[in-house]
Structure 1
Amino acid sequence: MPVTEFSRLTLKKRLDEEQKPVAMRGLSRAKKLMENFTGYDFHLFQEIEDPNRIYIVGQWASVEQHMNEWIPSEANQGLLKELVSLIDVDYLFHIDVSLGSIPPNDKAPIFSVGKHVMESDERPGFESTFDKRRSDLEAHAPGSISGGWRIEKEPGREEFVLFVPWKNVDQHLAFAKTKEFERYAEIRDHLVLIATEIRHVALMELPPPAMENDAA
């Protein structure tokens, strides 16, 4: 079953202005190599709240293809060697949602990424409340929303990752002041709020990919 990778990278704080372009070219090369390996598109997004954070969203034929075939491959090991001094991997996991259903779109250049964490026994209640109230969110979002469940679960917990398109951050913040949001916010009753986070991201414009003989 195809799955979507959701991972977050952070540029190391000590990088100077000469090293950052090297990191960007390396990430561009990683994108190209993963697309060649899988036959699927991959996208890199930059966080608006912290531009040093970069998200990879891409599709794999299965978790096994990613973890057992790509990760130990010569191409990936070369990438890791190239990028290890430039970038930290904050997390990497897979969600059960099609890449093609994930925003943004032409009318909404950014989207919010919500990592909704709950105790396992709260999942049915969350699903019921979300299904009941999602129309309140959809009424304000300029495009289709999309979400999926984390496949690699922490013991006793579930995580639902929600992608919502917006024209800008202010539009999202304005939603929080509406009556529709008051109803939609009932999902909070099921969440571990201290572990739940929402960030905003925009599609990155990447330079041409670094070639194997480029200096890293």
Structure 2
Amino acid sequence: MPITEFALLRLKEQEPSAKTKSSLRDVVKQQSAWSKHPVNFLRQIEDSGLVYLLGGWASVAEHFGDWITSAPNQRLLAELKDAIDIEWLFHLDIDPSARNIPLDAPVLGITRYFVEASRKDEFESIFQAGAPHLGEYTAPYSYAGGWRIDKDGEDEEFVLFSGWNKVEDHFGFAESDAFKEFGKIKSAIKGAEIKHAHLEKWG
């Protein structure tokens, strides 16, 4: 199954220059042509200097073995080395072909759940039971989640993408009756990080 690339970039410029924006648009063009999957940038709302990249690959090996060392990617990295830093990069078992990450929403909620390996099954069971309640609240936007493939240590990580009209709606869900079932997920995690972003076209 194809996988989703998930990366966080730090902009070195307060606002990207025309040259940087052109290079980032070129990343979208070149990488999507290579991988045959869409590439999207999302600007974090909490810190506008942070940008997420979402892409797709047939496998981790195709990404790291083929694309990373390719001439087009090396050229783009050289162009952008003074403009961005890569904070982290990993892959999720979300099929990008399904296009179920709600990029059509005005705000994309990004929640990283940190789970002890021994509680992965428990987390999945609670998530499956509570997810329909989340879906009722995010409608008409959807949600999609997946496990991190290339783990950092023994623990597991589950990343949930959810669509919202505004940030306040996401936090409002935590205060709603619909959250009662979904909120049971707290008992199966070590911690969580919640951020929000919106699509960035670099126009």
**TM-score of the pair, normalised by structure 1:** 0.88
Corresponding letter in the other structure for 1:101 = N
Structure 2: runs of 5+ lacking an equivalent: none
2:167 pairs, out of 169, 173, 182, with: 169
Deviations 1:5-41 (A, max 9, x none): 00010102xx265x53332221111111101111221
Query: Per the alignment, in what secondary structure is the counterpart of residue 25 of structure 1?
Result: helix
Deviations 1:64-100 (A, max 9, x none): 1100000011111111111111101011111111221
1:139 pairs, out of 115, 136, 139, with: 136
How far apart, in 2, do the equivalents of 1:43 and 1:182 lie?
33
1:129 pairs, out of 126, 129, 148, with: 126
Identify the residue that residue 3 of structure 1 maps to in structure 2. Answer: 3
How far apart, in 1, do the equivalents of 2:78 and 2:137 lie?
44
Identify the residue that residue 160 of structure 1 maps to in structure 2. Answer: 158
User: Does residue 201 of the first structure (1) align with residue 200 of the second (2)?
Assistant: no
How far apart, in 1, do the equivalents of 2:6 and 2:69 lie?
19
Query: Per the alignment, in what secondary structure is the counterpart of residue 43 of structure 2?
Result: strand
Identify the residue that residue 27 of structure 1 maps to in structure 2. Answer: 24
User: Identity of counterpart residues, as a percentage?
Assistant: 35
Report the CA distance between 1:133 and its aligned residue: 1.1
**TM-score of the pair, normalised by structure 2:** 0.93
How far apart, in 2, do the equivalents of 1:161 and 1:116 lie?
6
How far apart, in 1, do the equivalents of 2:193 and 2:171 lie?
15
CA-based RMSD: 1.4
How far apart, in 2, do the equivalents of 1:166 and 1:29 lie?
29
Inter-CA distance 16–110: structure 2 relative to 1 (3 Å threshold): closer
1:39 pairs, out of 30, 33, 36, with: 36
How many residue pairs get aligned? The number is: 200
Structure 1: runs of 5+ lacking an equivalent: 208-216
Identify the residue that residue 103 of structure 2 maps to in structure 1. Answer: 104
Identify the residue that residue 213 of structure 1 maps to in structure 2. Answer: none
Deviations 1:83-132 (A, max 9, x none): 11110101111111122111122xx3221011111110110110011111
How far apart, in 2, do the equivalents of 1:72 and 1:98 lie?
23
How far apart, in 2, do the equivalents of 1:63 and 1:45 lie?
22
Structure 1 residue ranges (4+ consecutive) displaced by more than 6 angstroms after TM superposition: none
How far apart, in 1, do the equivalents of 2:33 and 2:135 lie?
35
Deviations 1:170-215 (A, max 9, x none): 111211211222332111111111xx211111111223xxxxxxxx
Deviations 1:128-173 (A, max 9, x none): 1111111221111022211111100122111111111101111112
Query: Per the alignment, in what secondary structure is the counterpart of residue 17 of structure 2?
Result: helix
8 Å Cα contact 1:115-1:197 kept in structure 2 = yes
How far apart, in 1, do the equivalents of 2:21 and 2:184 lie?
40
User: Does residue 189 of the first structure (1) align with residue 187 of the second (2)?
Assistant: yes
Q: Which moved more, 1:51-60 or 1:180-189?
A: 180-189
Corresponding letter in the other structure for 2:136 = A
Corresponding letter in the other structure for 1:115 = R
Greater Rg over alpha carbons, structure = 1
Query: Per the alignment, in what secondary structure is the counterpart of residue 51 of structure 2?
Result: strand
